[in-house]
Structure 1
Amino acid sequence: MSSINHRKGLLQHLGIKHHEYWSWWLLVVPVWPLWIAYAFRLRCATWFTAVNPGMEDSGFFGESKIRILDSIPDAYKPRTLFIASGSSFDQACAQFRLSGIDFPCIVKPDIGGRGRKVEIIADENGLKTYHEGVGEDYLIQQLIPYDIELGVFYIRMVNEEKGCVVSVAEKGFLQVTGNDVSSIRQLMKNDYRASLQVARLGKQLDLDQVPKAGERILLEPIGNHCRGTSFIDRHDLINEKLNKVFDVIAAQIPGFYYGRFDLRVKSLDDLYEGKNILIMELNGLTSDAAHIFDPLSRLRDAYATQIRHCHLSYAIAKQNLKAGVKPTPLFELISKHGSRSGLNKD
């Protein structure tokens, strides 16, 4: 799809970008006072690490993707291979050949987010280049042939058998439509979202081609916001059928109550039937309900969602702490976050 025009509220008329382009820290400003208040109420500075006992630190930044994927039933995940930092390329190739994964495939760091070092690899030479340059543990993942990519946020209270889907966002991949006259570069410059990617994509694609009228050119197949992907609010997809599907999936993931499934599905009919669903990642505590990044969304609604989710995460953590779940000690969490921050600066 072509880029969606942004909603222009007061801040946009003052020259401030829509909040989908803001730093994550700015989007959780209203939540910090709540986190602090809940820490005093529970007498636990790291109460939030008790939200998802099955995830390291409940998914508070920099969690290992492979550890979380290992907790998901095989029926719901693509083939994924973990390559340890320090492995030789020959070792990585040997693992790859036994994995059943084919080229092209996705590669990404085991710890990281916001599209950092995520690439599509076409062949063994590309894999070698990535392996030699990544400098950390990484994953090789099957490229899923389904067109629909969703972010599905699910929450369940500890003492309840059923939870609910509270947010669904569909990813609109960056593309332009030809007109027989303009080059891809010109088409991108005429589209605000695409214009932000000209410098980056100019190093990867031939942007001087002139597409035929009506021809759609996919510019970025990786569904990440920082690569130009639109997150479209699809609350219309939420119903009891969808809740039941994710009740079934979540019940098979030990110690999981709160987070966002990033997945691909063959069709919406399959989504409601709970089949042909492949989960690329499961994000925990600090994941966002992706619908708040819809270009037409309002900042006050985004903040209201963040506050509501903080209340719910507190309720879950309170129940888990009462049941004996041990939170991560403060200084241990600080130490972990410091080392992970170093990775994410790359």
Structure 2
Amino acid sequence: MDFYTPIVIYWVVLGLRYRDFSLPTAANPRIVTGGLCGESKSSILDMAGPTATRWIAPYTTLTTGQNDNSRALEAMSHKGLSLPIVVKPDVGCNGTGVKLARTENELYAALAAFPRTTPLVLQRLIPYQHEAGIFYIRHPDQACGSISSLTYKDIPTLTGNGHNTVLELLKQDPRTQLLLPLYTPRLEHRLNEVLPQGETLDLVFTGNHCKGAVFRNGANDITPALTAQIDAIMKDIPDFHFGRIDVKFESAEALRRGEKFEIIEINGVGSEAIHIWDKRTTLKEAYATQFFHYGETFRIGAKKRAAGWKPCGLWYGVRLWRRQKRLLASYPMND
């Protein structure tokens, strides 16, 4: 049985109970489908007020077409952005298609890798090394929200010994040898390279578990200071009640204080509390977490519906999901 089968069944049960299978899309009613699927990442960031904006890594947008290279540089200059830059689809998920461009040639190659008329986000590379997913929930009748999950995203690395090639090191590690089909295409130009003693090599750039990142439950680092800071930020995005904020941060100590982090993107009701992918999480705990969070989307959606907001409708959501699926298939391999 697929992991998500019980969750789909639970969604159907809740849809019958609340008389609308698309009710969760009303939880964040100003976002297309509430952020379930097909939403524009930049449109969510665009809604941020002055408090939230100063925590978001600067970005600009570009739709691929003609003269992409010059238009990208002009758009970046207009927003005060410079290389290195992160290039990513404006509609997407799971880190698909995310590229890191450190030079103009890499930027041009990244732009050319996407089909024409693809909306992209060009975002400043955040200087912090660490990444986390912070799940935020606030009911419409609550003055303050809460953090229901904090997950650290560790980028797997190889450490050179001066003797073995990158491919040999991948095969020697118990974990990476199981994920060779995931790592080797991204490292094809370096597989025969011998890393010097002590030199490290990041295996992926994107902090996503299905792209090879390792997730760790950071619930013990959820503090009143961090909660208050995230709450202030998210209340500055109109009618946002449920979703995950992906951030990069300087250190766990600073994050606990609610300091020295920047927001990469904000995800809506389609996002997960990703600590469920920590290897220490039991299957029972993972399902309990999923059921709680999806239950919250229906409960919040019901309150927003009572306040006059309308869900997107089942078939509209299905249509956008199919469109997103087609887009994902057209994107290049992520870095």
Please report the TM-score for the alignment, with normalisation by the length of structure 1: 0.87
Q: Which residue number in structure 2 is paired with residue 79 of structure 1?
A: 58
Q: Which residue number in structure 2 is paired with residue 22 of structure 1?
A: none
How far apart in 1 are the matches of 2:176 and 2:17?
Answer: 46
Q: Which residue number in structure 2 is paired with residue 340 of structure 1?
A: 324
How far apart in 2 are the matches of 1:246 and 1:183?
Answer: 43
**Residue from 69, 79, 97 that aligns with 1:117:** 97
How far apart in 1 are the matches of 2:65 and 2:257?
Answer: 42
**Residue from 81, 91, 107 that aligns with 1:101:** 81
**Residue from 129, 133, 137 that aligns with 2:119:** 137
Deviation at 1:169, TM superposition (A): 0.8
How far apart in 1 are the matches of 2:148 and 2:187?
Answer: 38
Aligned pairs for 1:120-269 within 5 A? 120-135=100-115, 136-195=118-177, 196=179, 197-212=182-197, 214-269=198-253
Change (3 A) 1:27 1:279: farther
Letter in 2 for 1:120: L
TM-superposition CA deviations, 1:29-62 (whole Å, max 9, x none): 2222222222222222311111111311111112
Q: Which residue number in structure 2 is paired with residue 62 of structure 1?
A: 38
Change (3 A) 1:177 1:160: same
Q: Which residue number in structure 2 is paired with residue 330 of structure 1?
A: 314
Deviation at 1:185, TM superposition (A): 1.9
Letter in 2 for 1:149: E
Is residue 32 from structure 1 mapped to residue 16 from structure 2 by the alignment?
A: no
Deviation at 1:309, TM superposition (A): 1.0
Deviation at 1:114, TM superposition (A): 1.7
Change (3 A) 1:27 1:51: farther
TM-superposition CA deviations, 1:306-335 (whole Å, max 9, x none): 011122222111111111111112332222
Is residue 92 from structure 1 mapped to residue 68 from structure 2 by the alignment?
A: no
Secondary structure of the 1:30 match is helix
Is residue 49 from structure 1 mapped to residue 29 from structure 2 by the alignment?
A: no
Deviation at 1:235, TM superposition (A): 1.1
Deviation at 1:274, TM superposition (A): 3.1
How far apart in 2 are the matches of 1:31 and 1:222?
Answer: 26
Deviation at 1:94, TM superposition (A): 1.6
CA contact (8 A) 1:103 1:122 kept: yes
Deviation at 1:112, TM superposition (A): 0.9
Secondary structure of the 1:138 match is strand
How far apart in 2 are the matches of 1:132 and 1:218?
Answer: 24
How far apart in 2 are the matches of 1:215 and 1:39?
Answer: 52
- RMSD of the TM alignment (CA)? 1.9
How far apart in 2 are the matches of 1:124 and 1:162?
Answer: 44
Greater shift in the superposed pair: 141-150 or 69-78: 69-78
Unaligned runs of 5+ in 1: 1-24
How far apart in 1 are the matches of 2:53 and 2:189?
Answer: 34
Change (3 A) 1:63 1:206: same
Change (3 A) 1:180 1:130: closer
Deviation at 1:180, TM superposition (A): 4.0
How far apart in 2 are the matches of 1:49 and 1:198?
Answer: 35
TM-superposition CA deviations, 1:166-209 (whole Å, max 9, x none): 11111111102233433322221122432324421332435431
Is residue 292 from structure 1 mapped to residue 272 from structure 2 by the alignment?
A: no
| Percent identical | 31
Secondary structure of the 1:166 match is strand
CA contact (8 A) 2:18 2:298 kept: no
Secondary structure of the 1:188 match is helix
Please report the TM-score for the alignment, with normalisation by the length of structure 2: 0.89
How far apart in 2 are the matches of 1:322 and 1:112?
Answer: 30
CA contact (8 A) 1:245 1:272 kept: no
Greater shift in the superposed pair: 197-206 or 289-298: 197-206
Q: Which residue number in structure 2 is paired with residue 10 of structure 1?
A: none
How far apart in 2 are the matches of 1:343 and 1:150?
Answer: 26
Unaligned runs of 5+ in 2: 331-335
Letter in 2 for 1:203: E
Deviation at 1:276, TM superposition (A): 2.6
Deviation at 1:304, TM superposition (A): 1.3
Greater than 6 Å deviation, 4+ residue runs = none
Greater shift in the superposed pair: 143-152 or 94-103: 94-103
How far apart in 2 are the matches of 1:102 and 1:192?
Answer: 39
Letter in 2 for 1:68: I
CA contact (8 A) 1:183 1:211 kept: no
TM-superposition CA deviations, 1:271-310 (whole Å, max 9, x none): 2443332110111111111111112222221111101112
Q: Which residue number in structure 1 is paired with residue 333 of structure 2?
A: none
Deviation at 1:70, TM superposition (A): 1.1
